[in-house]
Amino acid sequence: MSHEHTVPGELGDPVVQAAEVPEPGAVTIVVPTFNESANVRRLLHLITESVPARLPCEVVFVDDSTDDTPEVIRAAAEDCPFPVTVLHRDEPVGGLGGAVVEGLRAAGSDWIVVMDGDCQHPPSLVPELVATGERAHAGLVVASRYIKGGSRAGLAGSYRVAVSRGATWLTKSLFPRRLHGISDPMSGFFAIRRSAVTADVLKPLGYKILLELAVRSRPRQVTEVPFVFQDRFAGESKSSAQEGLRFLRHLVGLRTASPVARMVGFGLIGATGFVPNLLALGALTAAGMHYVPAEILANQFGVAWNFLLIEHLLFRDRRSHRRWWDRVGRFALLANADLVLRIPLIALFVDRFGMGALSATALALVTTFVLRFVGTEALVYLPRRGRTDAPADSRTARRAV
């Protein structure tokens, strides 16, 4: 689908396609919006005041709003001396991060600056972000609240400050190498070269797109500039407990992206399955059920627990390859086959190789675990041969004016 740009005041002129817009030193400002109708006019005014005189620009709004934000942008764009585009998404896949990825795909300039639509990121810093990137030959320039000259003053309340600090510490602890040199991985304000990122490798979930970029597609050269986080101009923050949970799921997905890390996560989740298993076993035997059928039935509680966690934490991006009942059936079959396979393996290790019962049991546990992990990944979550799951395009491009 094409993304169309129109220059204000030239309704009769031919539409300029996004691919024809780039020029040396130009910048595309990508602004994801969700019900920001009270802010976008002010934001465009601030961009007009501070960016075009120093740097040719275009603005791409990627909008997931349920209010009149697209119409407000269209009206405000009439006073802008630069192209403005609205991409309204019927389905907000990936949340704010997914909106940014759509903006990256639509951008027509060498440099792309990502910023929020609530005026907490000062547009006056846009030319400096690009200039710093050019001087440092960097692929990514982060506007940081946590280096000298920066401030998080616009964060409302000690609770949000604590959450921001805690999230920053957690992400830097989990990804020390990938986030080296980035003091503010939670920043939503940054500039990136179009050539430094491949949008198709990104799998955003929620609103921390910089973290996604840095971990999956980090440019070799990264630099930072300080910025003062402003007070929100209007409306309320979109941060919520639900967004916090999405952020934690995103962290787990990023951390378990490699096969080795995924196997470790698979093992840890499997270990937690003993809790519902033992609780169910205790309840069933206390109710008078014989321990053999009780053990078999209780094992299904552990299997269900493990399946839910693995679905949402390890393989959430692969769930579309098979229907849920197909995944449940395959996973349960593999999990229960583990019990059936373990006893013959132990007998083989003892009788054929002369191992002791304890060491044979330990080796059988490791062997069946590895087989179960490989089987789960290959038989439950890999795409079926010949199937492609290209997501449906849910975007509606609207000309700003």
CA angle 106, 109, 112 (to 5 degrees): 75
Taking residues 345-350, report their average pLDDT: 83
Taking residues 106-115, report their average pLDDT: 90
Q: Give the whole-angstrom CA distance, residue 81 versus residue 334.
A: 62
pLDDT score for 73? 92
pLDDT digits (tens, 9 = 90+) for 244-266: 676 777 777 766 666 777 777 88
CATH class belonging to 4-236: alpha beta
8 pLDDT above the threshold of 60: no
pLDDT score for 15? 34
Greatest mean pLDDT among 181-190, 287-296, 340-349, 359-368 lies in 181-190
SS (H, E, C) 185-239: CCCCCEEEEHHHCCHHHCCCCCCCHHHHHHHHHCCCCEEEEECECCCCCCCCCCC
pLDDT digits (tens, 9 = 90+) for 21-54: 334 468 999 999 888 888 899 999 999 998 988 8
Residues β-bridged to residue 140? 192, 222
